[in-house]
Structure 1
Amino acid sequence: MKQSSYHELNPLVRLKELELLTPDLLERMLKAEDLADVETLFRGTIYGEYLTEEFSESFEEALGHAQEDLLKELVEIVPDPKVVWIYTMRFTFHNLKALIKAELLDQNFDELFIYDGFYSLEQIKTAIRTGQASGLPSFLLESIQEVREHFEESNSLQGIDIILDRKYLYSQRKIADSIDESELTKEVVSFIDFTNILMVARGIKQKRSRNFMSTALSSHGSILKEELLDCVEGDLEQFTNYLKMTSYGEMMETIIQNNVINLSQLERLCDDYLTSFYETAQTQAFGPLPVLALLNAKAIEIKNLRLIITGKRVGLSEEQIKERMRETYGT
């Protein structure tokens, strides 16, 4: 892929960035007295046009439709659609998890489907039901087949998430390598590293075995899988000491309390790190990073809006909501 092919696209991406909500507006929502004040502010944004019913019942639908429209537009104009899919693949695998379980349990989980820009609800359901291509790439069909075989042998739903999470990270690296853009590969590797770190931390807390974690962790990050597996047999303090020695050690220091990483802050740290990584896209006139930066900014914006709205609805304080919010692009 030639980076120059993005020369005409990225100015359009910059215009789309202007539609993102400002930090000031999010701050006003955060400080709003009640949900009614948040609704008033929300209706004045680009999301307002998607509201169809009572605010508390339709804001999720509005967030989803706005994201869907952005994806449809980008898929049509981006020189290499795989650049968009490397971000929305998380939705693809979410859909696989939900719809495979629906098939195996003979239930209907269609309402859990999230638009990924590429594969429709019916395409995925057909592929799961028949095992045929249905427009899906071969490695997704292989993932479906592996899950089916696992379920036939174990009759366990738990393995479905483990298999598909591992396949997801493998697919991320596979697509990034095929695009062959160094900064993009660096971002994907960091994402895999953080995902592995989160899994190990949770595995230690849940007292998972080394064998169990070996099936869950990806070997496609920069941190050696064997070193992570060695940490599984210790405690969180030992794992924290190990993380201090990695390339992520300095940022981990910000969430260490009593010599142990704060698990509730670890996922937020991952999101903030990837957002800061995309800051480099602001200086790039060529290449796919600005497109990915926009997608990431939109996802963070939606996540923050959801935190504010649901937080106000259940009575969380401003401080409780704020500590859960992610850093926004450009701030």
Structure 2
Amino acid sequence: MSKIRDTDYLTLSTRVRAMETRLVTRERMERMLDARTDEEAVKILTECGYEELPALTNAGLDDLLSKARAALYRELSTAAPDRRVVELFQMKYDYHNAKVLVKAAAIGAEPDRMLMEGGRWSPARLRDAFQRDSLGDFSEPFRQAVLRARETLNAGNDPQRADFVLDRAYFAEMADTAKAVGSPFLQGYVRLLIDAANLRSAVRAARIGKGPDFLRQVLLPGGNVDVSVLSSGRGADLAAVFRAGPLGEAAAAGAALTSPGSGELTAFERMCDDAVMHYLEGARLIPFGEQSVIGYLYARESEFTAIRTILSGRMAGLDSDTIRERLREAYV
């Protein structure tokens, strides 16, 4: 592939800036939280280009977000000068679907209900290829990971080990793709995702008394913080390890939660996600280039999560303050 320059993104960057005006901003989230009825809350989404939802149900919400996600990736994958930038964000749905298929096959369950749209390959295509044991048309890292995960589960191991196999492959394929694209901004994003995943794993491992052997299984290479530094199993050291980076505040909060019964992880999890959002916000300072697409894709993914959090919370009868505590920072 010939080298793609930032000027190749000029038209798309201008288009993305216009699309950002329809994002579900924090102000719109607050209006959804304060809406008197579910109908009023859902109606706010139509301002942002979402389809109308006649009645708020779990099935209706799933369908609404699934269609929006499919439309997002369909539009940007055809418009981006380097499609791999968009595919990197789609990978999580492919690997999610792989986990569903591997586990469903192991117990003889029907996987369709748990499969998600939005990946590089449709759930139907992936399911059919998996059931025919014919994954040759998919990326080699993905194919190999699915085979290893299936073998791991068929050997009678803990299903969590199969998840570890797929998670490791997912982050490795993202890192390789970011490197191939040649975007320092995209590579920095992936490294930060890996750091956040490793920080979460280190905190959770400390809380349940797991030591270095367990950490070496779950920690992912390729982040800004070397795995060997984190595998000591000393949760209290996390604040020092991450102090100088974007996850410093989250790590300090996590270090205080490493003892059993030391508190809920909700705020810590939110701080990890907010650190990634702060990094992506830098894309808005760059007038044109792949950064605008990367930032917008992350903003939309965060938006889907926020919509689900708000509307699911309303359906569950939660009060606005409780839902608000679970929301992450918005891109705009």
TM-score, length-scaled by structure 1: 0.89
Number of the residue aligned with 2:159: 157
Say whether 1:24 aligns with 2:27.
Answer: yes
Segments of 5+ residues of structure 2 without an aligned counterpart are none
- Secondary structure in 1 aligned to 2:222? coil
Cα distance per residue 1:106-145 (max 9 Å; x no partner): 2111122222342122332244234433520111111011
Cα distance per residue 1:222-247 (max 9 Å; x no partner): 111111110x2x3x4x1444345452
Say whether 1:242 aligns with 2:234.
Answer: no
Which of 233, 251, 267 is the equivalent residue of 2:249? Answer: 251
Matches within 5 A, 1:204-243: 204-230=206-232, 232=233, 234=234, 236=235, 238-243=236-241
Number of the residue aligned with 1:73: 75
Q: Which moved more, 1:107-116 or 1:146-155?
A: 146-155
- Secondary structure in 2 aligned to 1:7? helix
Q: Distance in 2 between matches of 1:81 and 1:257?
A: 39
Number of the residue aligned with 2:191: 189
Structure 2 residue identity aligned to 1:287: G
Q: Distance in 2 between matches of 1:13 and 1:299?
A: 15
Number of the residue aligned with 2:55: 54
Q: Distance in 1 between matches of 2:331 and 2:107?
A: 41
Structure 2 residue identity aligned to 1:299: E
Report deviation, 1:289.
Answer: 1.4
Report deviation, 1:176.
Answer: 0.8
Q: Distance in 1 between matches of 2:45 and 2:185?
A: 35
Q: Which moved more, 1:82-91 or 1:204-213?
A: 204-213
Cα distance per residue 1:236-259 (max 9 Å; x no partner): 4x1444345452464337746968
Cα distance per residue 1:162-219 (max 9 Å; x no partner): 1111111111111111111111111110110011111111111122242222121111
CA-based RMSD of the aligned residues comes to 2.3
Report deviation, 1:62.
Answer: 0.8
Q: Distance in 2 between matches of 1:269 and 1:6?
A: 31
Change (3 A) 1:258 1:128: closer
Q: Which moved more, 1:299-308 or 1:19-28?
A: 19-28
Q: Distance in 2 between matches of 1:204 and 1:67?
A: 36
Q: Distance in 2 between matches of 1:134 and 1:19?
A: 39
TM-score, length-scaled by structure 2: 0.89
Number of the residue aligned with 1:173: 175
